[in-house]
Amino acid sequence: MQILIKGGRVIDPGNFNAIADILVEDGKIVKIKSNDNPRQPPTSNEQPATSNQQPESRTIDATGKIVTPGLIDMHVHLREPGHEYKETIESGCLAAASGGFTAICCMPNTNPVNDNSQVTKFILQRAMIADTVRVYPVAAISKGLEGTGLCEYGDLKDAGAVAISDDGCPVSDSQLMRRAMEYAKGFDLPVISHCEDLNLLAGGVVNEGAFATRMGLPGIPNACESVMVMRDIALSELTESPVHIAHVSTMESVRAIRAAKKRGVLVTAETAPHYFTLTEDDVGQYDTNAKMNPPLRSKQDREAVREGLADGTIDVIATDHAPHSSIEKEVEFDQAGNGIIGLETSVSLSLKLVEDGVLKIDELVEKMSTNPARILKLENGLRAGNSADITIIDPDILYTIDVENFCSLSRNTPFNGREVKGKAVLTMVGGKIVFEDKIK
């Protein structure tokens, strides 16, 4: 099938930014041509289809919309195997597609843990059956996420793993983390670090400060995250191995990463929309949908995260999509599961950064597509010959987030009912349209 995407603002950071037409054929980008007359109505070469025949060509009018390389979420929890009542690979892929993502990286804290090639292959097989978006497994750093013995990184990479992480369980043993960085470097596998000092965590459930005191809840200090960020920066410097810091939430972490980058340390970092949108006050009256780890922080931390995005200290916006059912969330606050879903709200929430002048639109695309691909060494970009992984975003749609319209099996989000502007309206993977909404 031939598809012509006509008249959109095509943004491929560092490569292309103009009103243009994109021709897709047999799953590949064939041509990108600047459109000298974007107001001219698109022409179509569509052939009439019989009831048993698919059209051989189609023209998509992308006038007023943004056309980007497929968005990549490098931090997602799909829950399968082991917790399919929260999310399956199929439902997670559908949620990703409806959120504008053409590729997602799934974390290893499943049951069984993705610490061996059999689990990695199982995930890829299930993703192939789902046949929606690309799924890239992230394997465990340590066996069983227990932080005591390293996994077989060579076998995991051969099976299809694109990175390693003990996300959800920090690697507390500094010597083990050093060996993991050295070992992973030999296989060219990025290390994604969940930075948390369990001794400082000490049973905390919200950000430490006046809010926690007022709510009568044990607090988590900023240092719980930042001291481990500093440790992993030091280990990266020692081993000359790259490290990627997950879900950055504190001012101190941003400062440490910024300083490390200035002296040439191979560190990259991500944050999530909830950390640049919400604060601890949004926990409200013990709203478990606003309980996550790291927790929502202070206004000062939120501003530091936004500054880190603006100056390039933070490279990536990821969702940390963490589905939970009512079983885990409709309980006492201190007993509730950590995490929120984010695949279907990320684009809308992140576009607010552009509206607020924190980022330019091409910088946002860089953080949601180009940089994740660079860190994970994935093919990316709107270039002739590349796979047609494309996202189309309408920046002007006004709508209210409604969890009942989500594809995810879970509903745990503090953003339900929020009015937002802009969303992904078409997602294409390998030339196949896997999601389409409000576009002809």
Backbone angles phi, psi at 378, to 5 degrees: -105, 150
Q: How far is CA 377 from the centre of its chain?
A: 15
Q: If we measure between CA atoms, which residue out of 51, 115, 110 comes closest to residue 84?
A: 110
Specify whether the CB–CB gap between 319 and 349 falls below 8 A: no
pLDDT of residue 1: 82
Task: Examine residue 137 and say whether the peptide bond preceding it is cis (omega within 30 degrees of 0).
Answer: no
Q: For residue range 18-50, list pLDDT tens digits in order.
A: 999 999 999 999 999 997 654 444 444 444 343
Q: List domains and CATH numbers for the chain.
A: 67-376 (3.20.20.140)
The average pLDDT across 382-392 equals 97
SS (HEC) of the chain: CEEEEEEEEEEECCCEEEEEEEEEECCEEEEEEECCCCCCCCCCCCCCCCCCCCCCEEEEECCCCEEEECEEEEEECCCCCCCCCCCCHHHHHHHHHHCCEEEEEECCCCCCCCCCHHHHHHHHHHHHHHCCCEEEEEECCEHHHCCCCECCHHHHHHHCCCEEECCCCCCCCHHHHHHHHHHHHHCCCCEEECCCCHHHHCCCCEECCHHHHHHCCCEECCHHHHHHHHHHHHHHHHHCCCEEECCCCCHHHHHHHHHHHHCCCCEEEEECHHHHHCCHHHHCCCCHHHCCCCCCCCHHHHHHHHHHHHCCCCCEECCCECCCCHHHHCCCHHHCCCCCCCCCCHHHHHHHHHHCCCCCHHHHHHHHHHHHHHHHCCCCCCCCCCECCEEEEEEEEEEECCHHHCCCCCCCCCCCCCEEEEEEEEEEECCEEEEECCCC
pLDDT of residue 47: 42
* pTM given for the model: 0.95
| Model confidence band, residue 438 (pLDDT cutoffs 50, 70, 90) | low
| Model confidence band, residue 330 (pLDDT cutoffs 50, 70, 90) | very high
**Residues 6 or more apart whose Cβ sits within 8 Å of residue 287:** 414
| Model confidence band, residue 267 (pLDDT cutoffs 50, 70, 90) | very high
Place of tokens 């006492």: 332
Q: Is the dihedral of CA 195, 197, 198, 201 positive or negative?
A: negative
**pLDDT at position 64 over 50:** yes
Q: For residue range 85-105, list pLDDT tens digits in order.
A: 999 999 999 999 999 999 999
The tokens describing 104, both together, are 């997602």
Residues recognised as catalytic: 320
